[in-house]
Amino acid sequence: MINIRFPEYLRGKYQIMQIDRILYPIYTLGPGERLVLWTVGCSIRCYKCSNPELWEKNTAKNIEIENLGNLIKQAITGKKIDGITIIGGDPLEQIEELSKLLPHLNDITDDILLFTGYKYEDIKSLEKWQQIKDYISVLIDEPYIDELNDNKCVLRGSTNQNIIYLKNGFKEKYESYLSKGRLVQNVFYKDKMISVGIHNLERKANAACVPS
Ligand code: SF4
């Protein structure tokens, strides 16, 4: 397990982008062995969000983007990588910064999966979205609604969320992954165990996702 730790001199020196953690390999947030980045900051604040610790912006999580891109490339050199997932927090609350990071990530893979709590219909005409849309292969949109968590989908916390293919050629890869149902991966992070993935509600039984 790679946990990309940022050198302290890169933290807080430049107020460029806020990233909490980066882990590899993760199997539970997209198909294959993936690098996953958790961004900081979300003003949507869904009831029972699984990452409320990432809601508040935090300058202690600042990282300079050029250095971040290089750090990631160095860390995964020689490793098998099937894709990158960006989750948060809400990554689109740093869309300007994301537009600078994505070219670095696209040097590594063309499979970039992005989670957002915003509706695709509301963001797709934004000028800033135009700067990043060509880098995103698959988008999961809309906020998490606890009452709509049906324990079915590995990538969708609640049934209102949509799996949107923004690039051709990814549907088959993702749909075979979606048939697995919910997956959770336990990893050590900062000397404690964390669970990575979309979690089941205990009140409901597990089942496979049927893509709409
Ligand atoms: S949009 Fe995502 S990160 Fe933000 S509160 Fe909802 S579930 Fe949590």
Confidence of residue 40 (pLDDT cuts 50, 70, 90): very high
| Domains of the chain, start order | 2-196 (3.20.20)
The confidence score (pLDDT) of residue 7 equals 66
The confidence score (pLDDT) of residue 87 equals 98
Read off the pLDDT of each residue in 15-19 and give the average, rounded to a whole number: 84
pLDDT (tens digit, 9 = 90+) per residue, 105-155?
Answer: 999 999 999 999 999 999 999 999 999 999 999 999 999 999 999 999 999
Closest CA to 196 of 6, 19, 35, 7: 35
Q: What is the mean pLDDT of the chain?
A: 91
Ligand 1 centroid from CA 154, angstroms = 16
Kindly report which listed range (16-25, 82-91, 201-210) carries the lowest average pLDDT score.
Answer: 201-210
Q: How far is the first Cα of the chain from the last one, in angstroms, to the nearest whole number?
A: 34
Read off the pLDDT of each residue in 164-182 and give the average, rounded to a whole number: 95
How many CB atoms neighbour CB 134 within 10 A?
Answer: 11
Read off the pLDDT of each residue in 76-104 and give the average, rounded to a whole number: 96
Residue 89 CA: nearest ligand 1 atom is 3
Kindly report which listed range (26-35, 166-175, 190-199) carries the lowest average pLDDT score.
Answer: 190-199
Distance CA 109, CA 120 (A): 23
Read off the pLDDT of each residue in 55-60 and give the average, rounded to a whole number: 94
How many CB atoms neighbour CB 35 within 10 A?
Answer: 26
Q: In this prediction, what percent of the chain has a pLDDT beyond 70?
A: 91
Instruction: Kindly tell me the burial class for residue 8, based on how many C-beta atoms sit within 10 Å of its own C-beta (0-12, 13-18, 19 or more).
Output: exposed
Who lines ligand 1 at CB under 6 A?
A: 42, 44-46, 49, 51, 88-90, 117, 143-144
**pLDDT higher than 50, residue 212:** no
Ligand 1 centroid from CA 93, angstroms = 11
The confidence score (pLDDT) of residue 190 equals 84
Closest CA to 158 of 48, 45, 39, 32: 48
**pLDDT higher than 80, residue 211:** no
Distance CA 192, CA 54 (A): 17
Read off the pLDDT of each residue in 167-182 and give the average, rounded to a whole number: 95
